[in-house]
Structure 1
Amino acid sequence: MTVLELVKPVQEEPVQAPKDRSDLYLSVALTTVVLALLAWNITGFPTASDDEGTYLAQAWAVQHGKGLAHYTYWYDHPPLAWIQLAAGSWLPGLVAPGLIAVAAGRIAMLPLQAAGLLLVYVVGRRMGLPRWAAAAGLLTYGLSPLFLTMGRQIYLDSFAVVWLLAALALALSPRQHLWHFAAAGAAAAVAVLSKETILLILPAVLVAMWQNTARSTTRPWAFGAFASGLVLVGCFYPLYALLRGELFPGEGHVSLIGAVQFQLGSRSGSGSIFEAGSGANSLVRSWLYYDSVILVAGVAATIAGLAIRRLRPVSVAGAILILVALRPGGYLPAMYVVQVLPFFALAVAGVLAWTIGRLDRWFKWGAIALAVVLAATVVAPRWYVGDRRALTANDNAAYVQAAEYLRAQPPSTVVVDDVLWLDCVNAGYPEQRVIWFYKLDLDTEVAARLPGGWRDVDYIVSTPAVRQDPGTLPTVTALLENSTVIASFGPADGLIEIRQVLKEPQ
């Protein structure tokens, strides 16, 4: 070694600049705040619905190896959402065994909703929104009284929309790796297998991929990878039906295609949203009652966003959902708005950012000041009323009392709605002797268990869900007419009655 080599300065390794984690810290902090509001009083508000109980009971069936549902699975919805629910719905019951089943299931939904909030922020940033606008989108979504109401409930739509947001985030990936696009296809397939109606807004993911890829290089490969992921994951559902001999309609069995035909053609519609008194009109009015701000602003921003390139993916999703809701005569479910909210929130934040970004400095500060004033004087008071009710109301007290009463009774043959079905099973009632009221008249297997008809039932629990369609279920009607109240809970509009069946008709 020479003297020059000895005195040669040692070259230091280049120091890498620390990664900017501002987006991570901001999104996690905001999600934590919204999640705390979502969790606060989640067991008390809103009132438990029969749909929630149904999905939770189906998750229970998966957990206990009893198939895809607690009754005959008839392909009414793809099963992947409640399979996901089954993975975590058992945990809250271990921590707080006194909770009614639906309350425990709602708590199990919180990690999913946290993922959805974070993905709203990620999609906003990957669309090119500034940090403040992505944060505004997250808060617009998360603080809406509609989200603090519907987001608490156990709905298949919540699973589907989170997976579709994941597909959008992957399709907008700045790295543009092929596996990102394949993963976007797989996520889109999981979304569809969680709730089939999300299929209608898959064009939003395709628009995002089209804008994020170059025509001559990555675009053909990206769409090929996406299609591969979509088909490879999505084919498992029809394959499952085919292997069970239940793909096509036939005598003596349910079928996937038969269920699709029912959903598309045989199901009674909700009427037009413009027709006073129709189911669709009443439903839209109820959504507007909870939060007219995000719905009205969301529709306007969605239409405007179609003309703004970076907002086009979420605007396409929102526009399709608007058009589907506007179609006359179609079926509009109560939980449909769950799919709408994140896309409306991102469109509102995006249009606001686009508008402010095109003003000069003085007008920009004026526009920001105006937005703050409007938020404080128009939005905040409206949201305060709805959010305050979500944080304080106790609408499930009657269900809690009824569940406690049933747990204390010796097992018997009891007819209940699906909110209480799992509570009875968990309390030790034989599964075959706890009957979901719908199945009494609609499932021949259940009817075979009761050769004496309604006389083989000991008790019926009369809830608003049981009483909602008087006369359409003959056996349920007979049970209500030939029973006497032995316990009742709750106010008149949410009355729950434990009724003992009289073996001889009155």
Structure 2
Amino acid sequence: MTSTLPAATGVKVPAQRTAAPKTGSIPRTTPPRRLRGSRSDLVLCVVLLAVILVVQGWNIADYPTLSDDEGTYLAQAWAVQEGRGLAHYTYWYDHPPLGWIQLAALTWIPAQLAPESMTVGSMRAAMLVISAISAVLVYVLARRLSLPRWAAGLGMLLFGLSPLSVVLQREIFLDNLAVMWTLLAFCLAASPSRHLWHHFGAGVAAAMAVLTKETMLIVLPAVLVTMWRHSHRDTRKFAVTGAVTACVLIGISYPLLALLKGELFPGAGHVSLWDGIEYQMTRPGSGFILEAGTGSYGVLQSWLYYDRVLPIGGLAGALLLLVTWRWSVTARALAGPALAVAILAAMALRPGYLPAMYVIQALPFLALVLAGGTASVAHAVLRRWRRTDEKRALTWTRYAVAVALVGASAAYVVPRWYDGNRTAVTADANAPYRAAADWLGTEVENPGKTRVLVDDALWLDLVHEGYRPGLGVIWFYKADLDPAVTKTMPRGWRDLDYVVASPTVRRDAVDLPNVRAAMENSTPVATFGTGEDRIEIRRIQAAGGDR
């Protein structure tokens, strides 16, 4: 309590506690307390965001190629909107349902205004909202971690304009939503106000991230490191305890859901959370990521095909920050993001299953540490120049060298990013899917009584064309793996009329007896596209019988 007694009274006034630095041991110089409190930050962020959204949004429905995972998540969101449960088929705890529940909320208005628009291509536009929020959070986090304005802008551009980001952030993946919540958790953990409710909010956001995509659990130690460094020493224990408690209490809602449904443990006649976890933990690995010929190596090459700057430069930036942690202010400030990169890289190196979208979780942290590493190097060079150039005799040389370094970096990065992003904004990779959906909607006489196997990228298209959800248009995996579907097929593949042989169906049919038999006993009646990317509509020869 502040004393107002004058010194002449002779009453001893308690010494006032000196205010602690806003971020613990990290000196803060330029970051504003709030983004909206700095016009320069606000203008820069808005301009960069506009550029990012134009690049990511242009041609979003046509590139990249529609994926089965996108169709699955959107179909599950459609099922939530329609009140059909947590999924368009039996929900078997493959992922927590919060991710597609958010998608359902995000796409609800356009789905109500134009139900036929609830397809993968058109609903990709909803991901621009997620990309926008995440890009702004990257900028805010960079400023809260004491990066200068130009470095925060660089991090935002690296995150939003890398061809790897442009391709993957367009797609309807749960990872993109989970990254948004994780970035929010980091921003709240690094809040300059250091209110306890900010740290509790960080725990809530972290729980939302995990319930959106469970693999974000491995990044939570980095959130705690950030919170520990940015919390006040007097309230640090309360802050961390509150954040962990909030995260755990919200996180246990997932197993509680399974318990209330009687599906926590395996049993006769129902799915279970335990079976879902066991499947995720025991699924076949894709090999060591650095061993040529393995599936993981192929995934790595697909990432590097789009962009080498962000993955390799980000890893180098993380290594630089971790090595210089003891004596670098920037390294200490970015300890959380650098740790996140290290954890994600270590998990990628294990010889387990590595999905193509895994790198999405690392993109913001790769961008932050690359921007931070650049800022750290620039600061060290400028400081050395100031010490050796007291009379400013080398001023023009210094600027010339700086311009040369920036120019050399731009000469390397810009052409590669330009080529990658030009493909993203001009190529039409989904014409075969659109043509196949049109054919099945116009050439099949009675869609309501026709049964067709498709991958989920086409599932909602055919629902809008009049095929019966679940039983008329069948996600091809379910023809072999879902008892609720197989019991409607007493004659197996003979109870089907068509199979749409997309690349995904052809790849996975070898492990699905009904799908494989349908492929073997069918003839193509229409083909769209060429080569490995072609889509064949195949009429099953032995189709028929009462349905």
Q: Normalising to structure 2: TM-score of the pair?
A: 0.86
Change (3 A) 1:434 1:36: same
Aligned partner letter, 2:420: G
Residue deviations 1:410-431, cap 9 Å, x none?
2111111101111111222111
Structure 2 contact 155–368 (Cα < 8 Å) conserved: yes
Aligned equivalents of 1:130, 1:71: Cα separation in 2: 50
Q: Over residues 483-504 of structure 1, what are the superposed CA-to-partner deviations in whole Å (9 max), with x where a residue is unaligned? A: 2222211122211111111127
- Residue of structure 2 equivalent to 1:309: 332
Conservation of the 8 A alpha-carbon contact between 1:100 and 1:403? no
Partner of 2:245: 228
Matches for 1:104-123 after TM superposition, within 5 Å = 104-123=122-141
Q: SS state of the match for residue 538, structure 2? A: strand
Give secondary structure in 2 for the equivalent of 1:250.
Answer: coil
Structure 1 residue 250: Cα displacement: 2.4
For residues 80-116 of structure 1, give each alpha carbon's deviation from its aligned partner in whole angstroms, at most 9, with x where no partner exists: 1111001122444567777571112211111011000
- Does 2:425 correspond to 1:391? yes
Q: Which residue identity does 2:149 align to in structure 1?
A: R
Which AA in structure 2 matches 1:137? Answer: G
Give 5+ residue unaligned stretches, structure 2: 1-35, 326-330, 387-394
2:485 equivalent in structure 1: 446
Determine if contact 2:116/2:464 at 8 Å carries over to the other structure.
Answer: no
1:421 is matched with 459
Name the counterpart of 1:27.
Answer: 45
Contact 1:92/1:107 (<8 A) preserved? no
Q: Does 1:372 align with 2:389?
A: no
Query: Following the alignment from structure 1 to structure 2, what is the Cα–Cα distance between the partners of residues 334 and 316?
Result: 22
- The alpha carbon displacement at 1:33 in A equals 1.0
- Identify the range of structure 1 (69-78 vs 357-366) with the bigger mean alpha-carbon deviation: 357-366
Match of 1:323 in 2: 346
SS at match of 1:503: coil
Q: Percent identity?
A: 53
Is residue 413–residue 434 contact of structure 1 (8 Å, CA) maintained in 2? Answer: yes
CA–CA separation in structure 1 for the residues paired with 2:105 and 2:161: 28
Query: Residue 475 of structure 2 aligns to which amino acid in structure 1?
Result: W
Given that 1:85 and 1:109 are in contact with CA atoms closer than 8 Å, whether structure 2 keeps it comes out as no
SS at match of 1:498: strand
Corresponding residue for residue 368 of structure 2: 346
Q: Which runs of no fewer than 5 residues in structure 1 stay unpaired? A: 1-17
Q: Residue by residue, what CA displacement relative to the aligned partner does 1:170-199 show, whole Å, maximum 9, x if unpaired?
A: 000000111101110000000000000100
Measure the CA separation in 2 of the matches of 1:439 and 1:364. 65
Question: Which of 263, 271, 279 pairs up with 2:280?
Answer: 263
Q: Using a 3 Å threshold, how does the CA distance of structure 1 residues 326 and 135 change in structure 2: closer, same or farther? A: same
Does 2:378 match 1:356? Answer: yes
| Whole-Å separation in 2 of the counterparts to 1:137 and 1:471 | 44
The CA deviation string for residues 60-88 of structure 1, in whole angstroms up to 9 with x for no partner, is: 11111111111111111111111100112
Q: Residue 471 of structure 1 aligns to a residue in which SS?
A: helix
* Conservation of the 8 A alpha-carbon contact between 2:194 and 2:232: no
Amino acid corresponding to residue 438 of structure 1 in structure 2: Y
How far, CA to CA, are the matches of 1:493 and 1:94 in structure 2?
36
Deviations 1:315-367 (A, max 9, x none): 0000000100111x211100001111110110010111112122235586456
Describe the shift of the 1:227–1:132 C-alpha distance in structure 2 as closer, same or farther (beyond 3 A).
same
Letter paired with 1:195: K
Question: What count of residue pairs does the alignment treat as equivalent?
Answer: 485
Q: How far did residue 36 of structure 1 move? A: 1.0
Q: C-alpha deviations, 1:121-166, integer Å up to 9, x for none? A: 0010000001110000000111100011111111111011110000
Contact kept? 2:59, 2:424, Cα under 8 Å = yes
Equivalents in 1 of 2:344, 2:486: separation in Å? Answer: 40
Residue of structure 2 aligned with 1:279, choices 281, 286, 295 = 295
**Alignment partner of 2:525: what SS?**
strand
Aligned to 2:61: 43
Partner residue, 1:12: none
Change (3 A) 1:366 1:168: farther
Counterpart CA distance in 1 for 2:399 and 2:146 is: 21
Contact 1:356 1:367 in 2 (8 A): no
Among residues 55, 77, 80, which one is paired with 2:73 in the alignment? 55
Q: 1:368, 1:400 → 2: CA distance?
A: 50
Which residue of the other structure, out of 262, 266, 269, is the alignment partner of 1:245?
262
2: CA distance between counterparts of 1:504 and 1:247? Answer: 39
Tell me, yes or no, if structure 1 residue 484 matches structure 2 residue 484.
no
Shift, 1:379, TM fit: 0.5
Instruction: Tell me the amino acid that sits aligned with residue 325 of structure 1.
Output: A
SS, match of residue 449 in structure 1: coil
Output the amino acid matched with 2:376.
W
What letter matches 2:262 in structure 1? G
Partner Cα distance (1:476, 1:84) in 2: 32
Counterpart CA distance in 2 for 1:275 and 1:132 is 38
- Could you say what secondary structure the match of 2:500 adopts? strand
Distance, in Å, in 1 between the alignment partners of 2:73 and 2:107 is 11
| CA gap 1:138/1:80 in 2 versus in 1, 3 angstroms | same
CA deviation string 1:361-406 (max 9, x = no partner): 5586456424421232100011111111101100000101111122
1:167 aligns with: 185
1:404 equivalent in alignment to 2:442: no
SS in 2 for 1:468: helix
Q: How far did 1:470 drift? A: 4.3
Task: Tell me how far apart the structure 1 counterparts of residues 166 and 74 of structure 2 sit (CA, whole Å).
Answer: 20
Does 2:318 align with 1:299?
A: no
In 1: Cα distance, 2:295 partner to 2:400 partner: 43
